[in-house]
């Protein structure tokens, strides 16, 4: 059984092909190729996301054991080496940052559960740094925020125009309709990011194991940037809310 | 993208042949390496089911340590012979049948022997032996002869979230004089069990139960946890069961957001396997990968024809709740029936329920309201003495099935009895937030939000249905039972007459 891996920031996706009835696949991960390592998951599916690996690249050696209905265990699959990616928040230099990249919504407006004040406090949407940046970004599926698209504006000054990376860390998203985050810079659209499904807890909980965080890091092309004042607009035109941990623009290493 | 696993690969590549699976049903064979059986292997009880005039299916699953985390109940990974006896008396002095089946680790050491050659319409007792251990005995009965116009008492149960409270309702059901139990879905729930939903007081649970159930070992363990309840075991031992599932035997509403259809089929396959392993089902319901034939007929002489439905497996959202093949089978069976009563044992509410108490109409697409054309085709058959047994909603409801649900004056063409839950939703109250909504539908004649079951008596002239409820289940299992409502449905006059 051959394993394959797709890396991301803070996670590694494993996949394999298998025909036939199984009780489950037992997935082992080790930081050494010489030991089987610890059991990180039992799943009946043929894929697994090894998540919460942190912002710095980490390397693991994976093996999968198949357990059949009688409880018999197969020989381990051939080993696969895979590494997660490093976040620009670690490798790059910050240009402008809102909040702290710390897996909590602390430091953001209305956090951790004051979303019902959103409409009154941000009638025209947030415009940072003239206004605060709220922890929750509603979408058109949210009746409490008027069932309409919502845009957040993030202004920063750039002394020298060059390629940047926008880091958007989320503590959680909606579990079934996380929606799409549309990003534009000075009116030039540069990314449409389908958000990952979360745990639908981040609207009322600011940190902890009930959340399912995700990370979005996308390049902001130099062609969309200007010397001096710049504005990145975050628009949620589909789906429900997402909950921020922090956002920032960085000069990549 | 991998190809959909075929039936053959699901069975073949696991190294388990259909013949091996069939050994548990009593095919003539012996365990190849018989050996010692751990002491006290019958801790999950005994059961019987699907009675016919000359036969029943018996069930047990060997599990000396029912909550062993690997789902194998503390059994060694080898096959074991399980012997059974069927007698006319509970002292087993007049034994009429003996036999054995092979309990294999592939089926979690469950056996499903089908006992034939019994006399119609009579009570029997059965017990098992494995190694030197003898099981507690169970009581069962055969269906009456084909032309016998007998009487029948049965109970209808559903939705047994073990963690929401004690199975007090089963304690009372085990004392009822009933011939049969219909279970209409949600025998287990797949949710993680933790402090947020463990409302059953007086129990401690290992952390292994605090995870959503997805693998075969987890489903096996979940059945073992629920089946460890002594009152559930008592009802299984008290009367034969006719069971069908709803969604939670696999996953809530069969949602598989973020999971490929192929991977969901893997989950369905292990869930179906575990369901079969844990229920008194005949060989015709042996699962084949993600497929299992659960819809079937049970006849009760000339008195009643029961059609047991599966409204989950073949469902196409917005298009079909039964699937074309099951719908044809159902219609053919109803048209051909010469029984006095025609009863559907199924999962979700069939009566139209308008959830908008204002001038508009809002319906649940998860129930028959989401499949109105199919419901109209079924009701258009004008089946004589149609009775629908339902679960799913955790509330006791009695409703009349109308020729036109929007016209209260239209003909009543059937009767729906919705059994409240055994455990799901914990302590209930007679009235709750949904009472007015349900009763605003004029064909809904009764609503009660407490836990309980329906006890029915069928005679050639009438159906009597009694809603048996308990006031609380979280604290302990001591709540008394009471009858919240009693209805009579005369043969030839569908609907509900309050008694």
Same domain, B92 and B209: no
Q: Are residues A107 and A57 in the same domain?
A: no
Between chains, do B217 and A42 touch, taking CB under 8 Å as contact?
yes
User: Does residue A24 come out as left (phi exceeding 0), alpha (psi in the -120 to 50 range) or beta?
Assistant: beta
Alpha helix locations (H) across B86-239? 168-173, 216-227, 230-238
The percentage of residues in chain A with a pLDDT greater than 90, rounded to a whole number, is: 96
Q: Is the pLDDT of residue B3 over 50?
A: no
Find all residues with CB under 8 Å of A208, minimum gap 6, and list them: none
Distance, in Å, from the CA atom of B74 to the CA atom of B61, rounded to the nearest integer, reads: 11
Question: Do A99 and A202 have their domain in common?
Answer: yes
Q: Are residues A104 and A223 in the same domain?
A: yes
Indicate if A220 and A106 belong to the same structural domain. Answer: yes
CA proximity to B469, closest of B449, B487, B488: B449
pLDDT digits 0-9 by tens, B450-472: 999 999 999 999 999 999 999 99
pLDDT for residue A211 is more than 70: yes
- Closest residue in B to A68 (Cα) is B14
Mean pLDDT of all residues in A37-66: 96
Question: What are the pLDDT digits (tens) for B86-104?
Answer: 999 999 999 999 999 999 9
Q: Dihedral of CA B60/B62/B66/B71: which sign?
A: negative
Q: In what order do the strands lie in the sheet with B304-308?
A: B296-300, B304-308, B341-345, B386-390, B412-418, B396-402, B444-448
A142 with A223, same domain: the answer is yes
Q: What is the pLDDT of residues B307-327, one digit of tens each?
A: 999 999 999 988 999 999 999
Residues A155 and A169 placed together within one structural domain of the fold: yes
Are B387 and B379 contacting, i.e. CB atoms less than 8 angstroms apart?
no
- Under a CB-based contact definition with an 8 Å cutoff, are residues B129 and B92 in contact? no
CATH number, domain containing residue A171: 2.60.120.260
CB contact under 8 A, B266 and A45: yes
Q: Which of A36, A71, A86 finishes a domain?
A: A86
User: Both tokens of residue B62?
Assistant: 């060997």
Q: Which chain A residue shows the shortest CA-CA distance from B259?
A: A45
Q: What is the pLDDT of residue B35?
A: 61
pLDDT digits (tens, 9 = 90+) for B46-83: 999 999 999 999 999 999 999 999 999 999 999 999 99
Cα B273 to Cα B264: distance, rounded to the nearest angstrom: 14
- pLDDT grade for B359, boundaries at 50, 70 and 90: confident
The residue from A86, A106, A132 where one domain ends is A86
Query: Does the pLDDT value for residue B7 go beyond 70?
Result: no
Distance CA B281, CA B61 (A): 13
pLDDT tier, B28 (very low <50, low <70, confident <90, very high otherwise) = low
Is residue A122 located within the same domain as residue A220?
A: yes
Rounded to whole angstroms, the Cα distance separating A98 from A108 reads 8
**Do B180 and B237 sit in the same domain of this protein?**
yes
A19 touches chain B (CB under 8 A): yes
Interface test with B, best of A14, A69, A174, A208 (most B CBs within 10 A): A69
Write out residues 42-61 of A within 8 Å (CB-CB) of B.
Answer: 42-47
Distance of CA B18 to the CA centre of its chain: 24
Q: Which of B266, B378, B394, B259 lies closest to B320 in space, CA to CA?
A: B378
pLDDT value at residue A90: 97
pLDDT bucket at B6, cuts 50 / 70 / 90? very low
Query: How many C-alpha atoms does B366 have within 13 Å on its Cβ side?
Result: 12
> Domain check: are B95 and B46 in the same one?
yes
Residue A69 touches partner B, C-beta closer than 8 Å: yes
The answer as to whether B424 is a domain residue is yes
**Distance of alpha carbon B268 from the chain centroid:** 17
Q: Determine the pLDDT at residue B149.
A: 87
d(CA A221, CA A225): 7
> Does pLDDT of B5 surpass 80?
no
Q: Give me the pLDDT at residue B20, please.
A: 57
* Domain of residue B375, CATH code: 3.60.21.70
Kindly determine whether residue A23 and residue B270, on different chains, have CB atoms separated by under 8 Å.
yes
Give the whole-angstrom CA distance, residue B139 versus residue B12.
Answer: 37
CATH number of B102's domain:
2.60.40.380
pLDDT at B15 over 60: no
Q: What angle do CA B108, B110, B111 make, to 5 degrees?
A: 150
Number of Cβ within 10 Å of residue B359's Cβ equals 5
Which value, to the nearest 10 degrees, does the dihedral of the CA atoms of residues B335, B336, B340, B346 take?
-60
> Taking 90 as the threshold, does the pLDDT of residue B383 lie above it?
yes
Residues B126 and B150 occupy one common structural domain: no
The rounded distance, in Å, linking the Cα atoms of A73 and B298 is 41
Considering only residues B289 and B12, tell me which one the structure prediction assigns the higher pLDDT: B289
- Are the C-beta atoms of residues A141 and A148 closer than 8 Å to each other? no
| Spacing of C-alpha B228 from chain mean position | 17
Q: Is the pLDDT of residue B355 over 90?
A: yes
Nearest CB to A44: which of B2, B105, B270?
A: B270
- To the nearest whole Å, the CA of A122 is away from the closest chain B CA by 33
pLDDT-derived band at B170 (thresholds 50, 70, 90) equals very high
Q: Is it the case that residue B391 has pLDDT exceeding 90?
A: yes
pLDDT at B18: 56
pTM of the predicted model as reported, rounded to 2 decimal places: 0.92
Q: d(Cα B472, Cα B442) in Å, to the nearest integer?
A: 29
Structural domain contains residue B268: no
Please give the Cα distance from A74 to A88 (Å, whole number): 40
The last residue of one of the domains, among B98, B122, B143, is B143
Q: Is the pLDDT of residue B107 over 70?
A: yes
Is the four-CA dihedral B269, B270, B275, B276 of positive or negative sign? positive
Partner B, chain A 194-253, Cβ-Cβ below 8 Å: 197
Both A103 and A134 in a single domain?
Answer: yes
B384 with B443, same domain?
yes
pLDDT value for B329: 98
Tokens for A20, please give them.
Answer: 């036939």
Contact call for A46 and B9, based on CB within 8 A? no
Residues with Cβ within 8 Å of B6's Cβ and at least 6 positions away in sequence, in order, are: B289
Q: pLDDT tens digit string along B222-281?
A: 999 999 999 999 999 999 999 999 999 999 999 888 899 999 999 999 999 999 999 999
Which one of B143, B167, B190 terminates a domain?
B143
Q: How far is A251 from chain B (nearest CA, A)?
A: 33
Contact A30, A38 (CB under 8 A): yes
- CB contact at 8 A, B60 and B111: yes
Task: Please give the C-alpha separations between residue B491 and each of B341, B414, B458, in angstroms, as whole numbers.
Answer: 8, 11, 10
Can you tell me whether residue B252 is helix, strand or coil? helix
Res B8 pLDDT > 70 = no
- Pair (B94, B24) in one structural domain: yes
Token code pair at residue B461: 């002239």
B238 CA: distance to closest CA in chain A (Å): 31
How many percent of chain A have pLDDT more than 70? 100
Name the band, by pLDDT with cuts 50, 70 and 90, for residue B11: very low
> Within a domain: residue B442?
yes
Residue of B nearest to A46 (CA): B263
Within 8 A by CB and 6+ apart from B483, the residues are: B466, B467, B468, B469
Q: How many domains does chain B have?
A: 2
CA distance A203 to B68: 38
Q: What confidence score (pLDDT) does residue B257 get?
A: 80
Q: Could you read off the pLDDT of B392-431 as tens digits, one per residue?
A: 999 999 999 999 999 999 999 999 999 999 999 999 999 9
CATH, residue A44 = 2.60.40.10
Q: What are phi and psi of A121, to 5 degrees?
A: -85, -30
Q: Give chain B positions within 8 Å (CB) of A21.
A: 5, 10-11, 13-14, 16, 269-270, 273, 289
- Looking at the structure, do residues B164 and B136 belong to the same domain, yes or no? no
Statement to judge: residues B113 and B157 lie in one domain:
no
Which chain B residues are within 8 Å of A69, Cβ to Cβ? 14, 16, 105-107, 216, 273
CA-based nearest distance B88→chain A, Å: 36
Task: Verify that A106 and A61 share a domain, yes or no.
Answer: no
Q: How far out from the chain centre does Cα B20 lie?
A: 25
Handedness of CA B306, B308, B314, B318 (dihedral sign): positive
CA distance A248 to B291: 50
B363 has a pLDDT exceeding 70: yes
Give the DSSP per-residue string, A151-175: EEEEEEEESS---EEEEEEEEEE-S
Residues A44 and A133 in one domain: no
Judge if B449 and B326 occupy the same domain.
yes
User: Is B404 within 8 Å of B430 (Cβ atoms)?
Assistant: no
Domain identity same for B364 and B491: yes
Which of B111, B143, B175 terminates a domain? The answer is B143
The answer to whether the CB atoms of B2 and A23 lie below 8 A apart is no
Identify whether B493 is part of a domain. yes
Instruction: Using a CB–CB cutoff of 8 Å, tell me whether A2 touches chain B.
Output: no
* Mean pLDDT across chain A: 96
Question: Angle at the Cα of B258 (from B253 to B260), degrees rounded to 5?
Answer: 90
Three-class SS state of B91: coil
Considering the domain boundaries, does residue B222 fall inside one?
Answer: yes
- Strand segments (E) across B200-293: 241-244
pLDDT score at B303:
98
What band does B17 get if pLDDT is binned at 50, 70 and 90? low
Main-chain phi, psi angles of A69, to 5 degrees: -65, -25
**B368 φ, ψ (degrees, to nearest 5):** -60, -20
Proportion of chain B above pLDDT 90, given as a percent = 90
Asked if residues B391 and B158 have their Cβ atoms less than 8 Å apart, the reply is yes
Q: State whether B198 and B232 are in the same domain.
A: yes
Considering the domain architecture, whether residues A34 and A99 belong to the same structural domain is answered as: no
Does the ipTM surpass 0.95? Answer: no
Sort strands B341-345 and B386-390 into parallel, antiparallel or unpaired: parallel
- Reply yes or no on whether the pLDDT at B368 is more than 80: yes
What was the pLDDT predicted at B29?
66
- How high does pLDDT run on average in chain B? 94
- CB-CB neighbours of B232 under 10 Å: 26
Domain boundary among A47, A69, A86: A86
Number of domains in chain A: 2
Domain housing B66: 1-143
CA end-to-end distance (rounded Å), chain B: 60
Non-local CB neighbours of B232 within 8 Å, separated by 6+ positions = B45, B160, B167, B170, B226
pLDDT at B30: 67
Q: Do A111 and A218 fall within a single domain?
A: yes
- The verdict on a CB contact (< 8 Å) between A20 and B104 is no
The range of the structural domain enclosing residue A80 comes to 3-86
Angstrom distance (rounded) from CA A144 to CA A150? 12
């Amino acid at each position: 059984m051959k394993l394959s891996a797709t890396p991301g920031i803070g996670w590694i996706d494993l996949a394999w092909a298998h025909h036939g009835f199984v009780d489950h696949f037992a997935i082992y991960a080790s930081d050494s190729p010489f030991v089987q390592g610890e059991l990180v998951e039992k799943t009946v599916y043929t894929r697994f996301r090894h998540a919460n690996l942190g912002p710095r690249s980490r390397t693991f050696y994976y093996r999968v054991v198949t357990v059949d209905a009688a409880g018999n265990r197969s020989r381990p699959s051939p080993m696969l080496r895979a590494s997660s990616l490093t976040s620009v928040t670690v490798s790059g230099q910050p240009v402008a940052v809102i909040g702290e990249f710390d897996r909590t919504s602390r430091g953001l407006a209305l956090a951790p559960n004051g979303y019902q004040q959103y409409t009154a406090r941000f009638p025209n949407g947030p415009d940072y740094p003239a206004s605060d940046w709220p922890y929750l970004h509603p979408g058109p599926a949210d009746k409490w925020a008027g069932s309409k698209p919502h845009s957040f504006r993030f202004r920063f000054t750039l002394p020298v125009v060059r390629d940047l990376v926008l880091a958007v860390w989320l503590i959680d998203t909606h579990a079934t309709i996380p929606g799409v985050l549309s990003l534009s810079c000075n009116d030039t659209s540069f990314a449409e990011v389908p958000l990952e499904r979360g745990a639908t807890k981040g609207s009322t909980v600011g940190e902890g194991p009930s959340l399912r965080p995700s990370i979005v890091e996308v390049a902001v092309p130099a062609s969309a940037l200007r010397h001096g004042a710049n504005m990145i607009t975050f628009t949620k035109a589909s789906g429900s809310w997402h909950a921020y941990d922090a956002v920032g623009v960085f000069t990549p290493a | 993208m991998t190809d959909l696993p075929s039936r053959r690969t699901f069975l073949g590549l696991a190294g388990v042949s259909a013949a091996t699976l069939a050994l548990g049903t009593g095919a003539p064979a012996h365990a190849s390496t018989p050996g010692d059986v751990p002491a006290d292997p019958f801790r999950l009880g005994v059961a019987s089911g699907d009675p016919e005039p000359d036969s029943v299916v018996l069930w047990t699953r060997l599990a000396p340590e029912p909550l062993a985390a690997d789902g194998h109940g503390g059994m060694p990974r080898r096959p074991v012979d399980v012997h059974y006896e069927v007698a006319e008396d509970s002292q087993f002095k007049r034994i009429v049948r003996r036999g054995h089946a092979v309990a294999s680790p592939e089926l979690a050491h469950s056996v499903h022997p089908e006992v034939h050659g019994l006399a119609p319409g009579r009570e029997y007792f059965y017990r098992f032996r494995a190694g030197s251990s003898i099981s507690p005995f169970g009581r069962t009965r055969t269906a009456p002869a084909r032309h016998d116009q007998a009487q029948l008492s049965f109970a209808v149960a559903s939705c047994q979230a073990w963690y929401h409270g004690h199975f007090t309702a089963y304690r009372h059901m085990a004392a009822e004089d009933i011939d049969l139990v219909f279970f209409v879905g949600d025998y287990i729930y797949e949710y993680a069990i933790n402090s947020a939903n463990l409302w059953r007081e007086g129990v401690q649970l290992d952390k292994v139960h605090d995870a959503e159930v997805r693998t075969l070992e987890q489903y096996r363990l979940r059945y073992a946890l629920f089946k460890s309840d002594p009152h559930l075991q008592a009802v299984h031992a008290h009367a034969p069961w006719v069971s069908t599932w709803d969604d939670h035997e696999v996953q809530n509403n069969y949602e598989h957001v973020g999971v490929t259809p192929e991977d969901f089929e893997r989950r369905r396959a292990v869930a179906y396997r575990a369901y079969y392993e844990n229920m008194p089902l005949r060989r015709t319901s042996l699962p084949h990968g993600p497929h299992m034939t659960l819809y079937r007929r049970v006849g009760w002489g000339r008195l009643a024809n029961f059609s047991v439905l599966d409204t989950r497996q073949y469902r196409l959202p917005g298009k079909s709740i039964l699937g074309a093949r099951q719908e044809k089978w159902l219609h053919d069976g109803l048209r051909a029936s010469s029984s006095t009563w025609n009863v559907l044992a199924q999962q979700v509410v069939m009566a139209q329920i308008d959830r908008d108490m204002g001038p508009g109409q809002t319906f649940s697409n998860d129930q028959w309201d989401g499949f109105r054309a199919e419901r109209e085709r079924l009701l258009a058959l004008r089946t004589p003495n149609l009775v629908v047994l339902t679960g799913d909603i955790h509330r006791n409801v009695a409703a009349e099935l109308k020729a036109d649900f929007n016209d209260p004056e239209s003909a009543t063409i059937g009767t729906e009895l919705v059994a409240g839950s055994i455990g799901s939703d914990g302590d209930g109250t007679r009235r709750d937030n949904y009472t007015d909504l349900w009763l605003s539908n004029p064909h809904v004649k009764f609503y009660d939000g407490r836990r309980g079951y329906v006890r029915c008596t069928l005679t050639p002239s009438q159906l009597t249905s009694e809603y048996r409820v308990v006031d609380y289940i979280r604290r302990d299992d001591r709540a008394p039972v009471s009858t919240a409502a009693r209805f009579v449905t005369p043969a030839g006059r569908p609907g509900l007459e309050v008694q």
